[in-house]
Copies of this chain bind each other. A is one copy, B any other.
Amino acid sequence: MAVYTEVSDEALAAFLAEYAIGDLVAFRGIAEGVENSNYALRTGAGDFILTLYEKRVEPADLPWFLGLMEHLAGRGVPCPLPVHGRDGAALRTLCGRKAAITTFLPGVWPRRVDIAHCAPLGEALARLHLAGEGYAPRRENALGPASWAALLARAADDADGVRPGLRAELEAALAAILGAWPQGLPTGHIHADLFPDNVFFLERRISGLIDFYFAATDLLAYDLAVCLNAWCFESDYSFNVTKARALLAAYAAVRPLTAAERAALPVLCQGAALRFALTRLYDWINTPPGALVTRKDPLDYVRRLRFNLAAKDAAAYGI
């Protein structure tokens, strides 16, 4: 839940004057997304999203993100297309923040994942990965395995206050995962945060993939691991292997997995679960009371981590 930055009438009018998208018709804050301020913007030319990038996004990374979205949209991925101003720039400044206008995507994100969502998701993820080929700039994954020890160190002293024993559990998991982390798997541009609220569906088909502000150049199969964690666990933390199989099969039909990728699925899923457990733990500890965000329980991802640590091979994921 966001909208951190209020945009004054005058600032908005001056900003829109930089674009050739007609006159302002409507402007409403969107209550979704926790990292940036998002507004639904309607002009004479149609519907758009105006995003103001808040402190979590590194401004130096924004041209890479916007460039990736433009590259993907041009290759048929249903992602927001950055709109260029009269001067050619897609990224400018509004109310002291970097800001961009992108196209509006129809659809609704699934509040409750069911099996019918999983095959379209797998197919869309594989198409995203293939479409990313040819986008030459790279971005290291700032939340990849190289970052996890430091993430844990920042939160370690408070971890046992969240749940006794959590620090030792996470330290043991981290050592095991880093020791087993795969080398030489296919890499490319990954979304890295493809949770249900970033995927819009319309009549059972995917109509939008949004929020590319964690995207990076990393192991392609790691993106699958993020999705397996985010889409295939039930609310009681049981793993739904039917959903996983549907997701993986649909992915592999577009981009076949290598034997090494299949073999690495358990450790990739462990790593993905650890990454979200660690960032949620840090946020849990450091979110001030009264902040306008919903804290996400890090233990949700600790439970996923345990399942993945117990997985012996790809068969645990239905393939």
Contacts and interface: CB of A to CB of B under 8 A. Distances in A.
A58 B110 CA distance: 30
A12 interface: yes
A295 B106 CA distance: 33
A contact face: mostly helix, strand, loop, or mixed? loop
A28 B295 CA distance: 20
Contact of A6 (B9, B29, B106, B111): B111
A55 interface: no
Contacts of A32: 28-29
Interface in A110-131: 110-112
A42 interface: yes
B9 A111 contact: yes
B42 A40 contact: no
B26 A29 contact: no
B112 A9 contact: yes
11 contacts: A1-B1, A1-B3, A7-B111, A9-B111, A10-B112, A24-B202, A25-B202, A26-B106, A40-B40, A290-B291, A292-B294
Given A10-B112, A290-B290, 13 more contacts: A1-B31, A1-B292, A3-B31, A6-B111, A8-B112, A9-B108, A9-B111, A24-B108, A25-B106, A26-B107, A40-B40, A289-B289, A292-B294
